[in-house]
Amino acid sequence: MLDVVVLFNGYSKRLSYNRTDANCTCTLIKGPKTIIVDTMTAWDRERLVEEHIVGYGVHQGTIFYEKQLQDDYQLCNGVSITATPGHTYEDVTVLVEAGTGRESVKYAITGDLFEKEEDVADPSLWKEVGTFALRKIQTSSRLRIMKYADYIIPGHGPMFRTNDALIRLLENQTDGE
C-alpha cells in the first residue's frame, strides 16, 4: 500500500519583472520504497539515498546511468515517472496509484507542469515562466496528466482534486493553441 504525503506546500510569487520568490512542493511517497519528490532546494540532495532522477537523467548515488527517460520508468509497484516536457525539455511527472481496485487513488506529482491550481484558469501564470517553444507540448502534457489523475500535486502550490470542469478548461486551452 502506498501513501502520499505532502510535506511542504510550495509557492511562487512574482516580485518584479526579473525576480520571483519560489520554493518547490515537497512530497513523500511511503511504500516498498521511500521516495521524496522535489526536495525544495538542490542542497537537500543527500536526503535522496536510493534513486535520484533529475529530469530525464537517472542517477543512483554518484552513478549516472546512460538511460534517459523516454517512456514511463517504473520505480516500484504503483510508482512510475513519465516525461512531460513543457516547462523545460527535461520535465517529468511522478505518477502514483495508491490503493487497489475501486479504492485506488491516482496522484500526479507534476513539478512545474502545473505551477499551482490557479494556473488552470489563468494559463498566463505558467506561460510566463515556461519555455515559449514548448507551450503547445506543455498544454498537451497538462491535459494528459489532468485526465489521468484524481489529485495534482503542483510544483508551487497545494495539492488539488481534478474534476470535469478543470478538464474542460484545459481542453478549451488546447483548442486555442
What CATH class has 3-175?
A: alpha beta
Can you say how many angstroms the Cα of residue 150 is from the centroid of all Cα atoms in its chain? 13
Distances (CA, A) of 62 to 28, 40, 106: 22, 20, 31
**pLDDT per residue as tens digits for the range 47-99:** 444 465 555 566 666 666 665 566 678 888 999 989 888 777 778 899 999 98
Measured CA to CA, the distance from residue 46 to residue 101 in angstroms comes to 36
- Residue 41: which pLDDT band, with cuts at 50, 70 and 90? low
**pLDDT per residue as tens digits for the range 17-40:** 788 888 888 888 888 888 888 766
pLDDT at 67: 58
DSSP element (H, E) containing 29: strand 26-30
Count the residues in the chain: 177
Average of pLDDT values for 119-126? 89
pLDDT at 168: 95
Whether pLDDT at 12 is above 60: yes
Which residues on adjacent β-strands are paired with residue 154?
111
pLDDT at 21: 84
pLDDT at 48: 47
Distances (CA, A) of 157 to 26, 31, 39, 70: 10, 24, 14, 27
Measured CA to CA, the distance from residue 142 to residue 39 in angstroms comes to 22
Q: What's the whole-number average pLDDT of the chain? A: 82
177, 139 contact by CB (below 8 A): yes
pLDDT at 11: 86
CB-CB neighbours of 26 under 10 Å: 21
**pLDDT per residue as tens digits for the range 141-164:** 999 999 999 999 998 999 999 999
pLDDT at 47: 47
DSSP element (H, E) containing 166: helix 164-175
pLDDT at 74: 84
Whether pLDDT at 167 is above 90: yes
For the chain, the domains span 3-175
